[in-house]
A and B are shown apart, each in its own frame.
Chain A
Amino acid sequence: MHGMIIRSIQCFLEDTYGRPVWEDVAKAAGLDPEGFEAMMPNRETRTPDVLSAASQHLGKPRETLLEDLGTYLVAHPAMQVVRRLLRFCGPDFHDFLYSLEELPERARLAVPDLELPVLDLREHDSGDYTLTVTHYVPGFGHVMVGMLRAMADDYGALVLLEHKGRAAACEIVSIRLAEPAFSAGRRFDLRLKAG
């Protein structure tokens, strides 16, 4: 799996729980705590080991941890870049949802060998959606739940999200957009503020 994915787990654990927690987790998973080179594709797939070790160390279910990771990637001040890149996808949450399908392509524009899950959005009734998350590594659905929750917050939308489980390589996330303009949300300025 791409170094960037394991690296994002490292940043999440360091920024949320502190450096020592990451060191313990890395050691328990048999990895060098000095970290990964984010720009290098890692041949070995150690992500599941890292997640199991973190889950055990923190006494949190894997699912919760992955959801927190998704939220962290959008909402944490250290991850402003990700939030901004996601906000470029659409002017409101509804458009953002529809742009999810092009997310792997957008990611590849930046990092050509990054393999993100295939995302497929279906709109049922107005405000009801199903997102299918397909990847050979399970868990991306939970990351998406956390990420979507944080993005909804960012857009000022009120959503109800539920992970419906995994079948074959597909995870199903149900999305209910209760109120597209629930709050003012955070402003998105196309200009990148210096610093």
Chain B
Amino acid sequence: MIPSVQGPAPDGAVVLDADAVDLFMPMSLTVAASGHIRHAGPTLAKLRPDAPMVGRRLLEVFEPRRPRGVGSFADLRAACGAPLVMAFRDQPRTAFKGHGQALPDGGMLINLSFGIGAVEALAAYDLTGADFAPTDLTVEMLYLVEANAAVQADLRRLTLRLDGAKSAAVEQAHSDTLTGLRNRRALDMALQRYAASREAFALMHLDLDRFKAVNDTRGHAAGDHVLQQVAAILREETREADTVARVGGDEFVLIFYRLTERRRLARIASRLLRRLSEPVEYDGARCEISGSIGIALSQDYPRPDPDRMLQDADAALYRSKRAGRARYAFAGEDATHRPDAGEPPARITPPS
């Protein structure tokens, strides 16, 4: 049957036949004065294919949620014109938004839509675009939800890529290219962090002995190789939480995080010096170097100041060097120690 619309009559009334109502409002309900559903629009009917609504009481099928306090069909009819929210009483308890109009026969015409819950509702039912009136923007809303999801997914990928690129750039900015150790900038940042955190730490300043001779006699390639070997030793002899930085041509600074026990540090320094003294083979030649070390401990200072600690470690390092190289010394002490000279004595005098 072709839907028909008659009117406007002299009083302005427009008469829609049942098919026209279905066409314009595929989610509408016509309710009799008794409160029984007389007709359900085709899209609404599709939602309950096995339990037809027609013939049942409106408030038996739907639970009114708004306006509040609707206990009977008469209440609902009295509230005509106000926004209406109601939901199926059985599963899935889809909610609808709409409004109603009282009919002259004492019944009601109620037009519904899915409202904002459309995405969830459509996941539960088998509907197509043709089930919606062209004025209903539900399908457009679904389009937007999917378009938005696709764009969001792409943005997430972009964010991840940028984040990865940023980490790589930060890593690069904090690394020494030749050895892969931390650089001066990274060392300064770590020192600031530790000093501020008031965690105990030890600073070890290491300077290579006779490295210049290797560079001068065997060439820069040999020198680079030696530096890489040194870096490998420093990494092997320290823990993950420690910081190992190359701060000059043949100068290194090590930060031992939460490690300030003099005996342990003495053992580490001894091991480092012994290993650094082992000759490095390069291109058939033996490159021999050694190192000198100065150590400063954060607990020797009332308020650890990174610059002051670096200076004191540096001074201890030069005492080691003057005392004959391949030695280590603690800041604030006069003694220097050879790696094979056993345990250093307990600290006696505070650093000046």
Q: Is the interface of A mostly helix, strand, loop or mixed?
A: loop
0/1 string, B114-153, CB within 8 A of A gives 1: 0000000011001111100000000110111011101100
For B213, what are the chain A residues with a Cβ–Cβ distance below 8 Å?
A: none
Report how far A40 CA is from B140 CA in the complex, Å.
25
- Contacts known (A39-B155, A88-B139, A190-B122); A110 close to B129, Cβ less than 8 A: no
Q: CB distance A84 to B128 under 8 Å?
A: no
For A91, what are the chain B residues with a Cβ–Cβ distance below 8 Å?
A: 128-130
A106, CB-defined interface residue at 8 Å: yes
For B148, what are the chain A residues with a Cβ–Cβ distance below 8 Å?
A: 110
0/1 string, A20-48, CB within 8 A of B gives 1: 00000000000000000111100000000
For B147, what are the chain A residues with a Cβ–Cβ distance below 8 Å?
A: 85, 106, 109-110
Q: CB distance A111 to B151 under 8 Å?
A: yes
B158, CB-defined interface residue at 8 Å: yes
Report how far A84 CA is from B143 CA in the complex, Å.
8
B154, CB-defined interface residue at 8 Å: yes
Number of chain B residues whose Cβ lies closer than 8 Å to a Cβ of chain A: 21
A160, CB-defined interface residue at 8 Å: no
Q: Which residue of B lies closest to A107 (CB)?
A: B147
Partner of B151, one of A39, A40, A189, A190: A39
Report how far A142 CA is from B123 CA in the complex, Å.
36
Q: CB distance A188 to B128 under 8 Å?
A: yes
For A90, what are the chain B residues with a Cβ–Cβ distance below 8 Å?
A: 129
For B129, what are the chain A residues with a Cβ–Cβ distance below 8 Å?
A: 88, 90-91, 188, 190
Partner of B146, one of A37, A40, A85, A188: A85
Report how far A106 CA is from B143 CA in the complex, Å.
9
Q: Which residue of B lies closest to A192 (CB)?
A: B146
Q: CB distance A110 to B150 under 8 Å?
A: yes
For A137, what are the chain B residues with a Cβ–Cβ distance below 8 Å?
A: none
Report how far A191 CA is from B126 CA in the complex, Å.
8
Q: CB distance B140 to A190 under 8 Å?
A: no
Q: CB distance A88 to B142 under 8 Å?
A: yes
For B143, what are the chain A residues with a Cβ–Cβ distance below 8 Å?
A: 85, 88-89, 106, 109
Output the least CB separation between A12 and chain B (Å). Answer: 16
Report how far A192 CA is from B161 CA in the complex, Å.
27
Output the least CB separation between A104 and chain B (Å). Answer: 13
For B127, what are the chain A residues with a Cβ–Cβ distance below 8 Å?
A: 190
Q: CB distance B123 to A191 under 8 Å?
A: yes
Report how far A90 CA is from B132 CA in the complex, Å.
11
Q: CB distance A37 to B150 under 8 Å?
A: no
A58, CB-defined interface residue at 8 Å: no
Q: CB distance A39 to B146 under 8 Å?
A: no
Q: CB distance B128 to A190 under 8 Å?
A: yes
Give me 5 A-to-B residue pairs in the complex whose CB atoms sit less than 8 angstroms apart, sorted by A's number. Answer: A38-B158, A85-B150, A88-B139, A109-B147, A189-B126
Given contacts A109-B144, A110-B144, A190-B142, 5 further A-B contacts (CB under 8 A): A37-B161, A39-B151, A84-B146, A188-B129, A190-B139
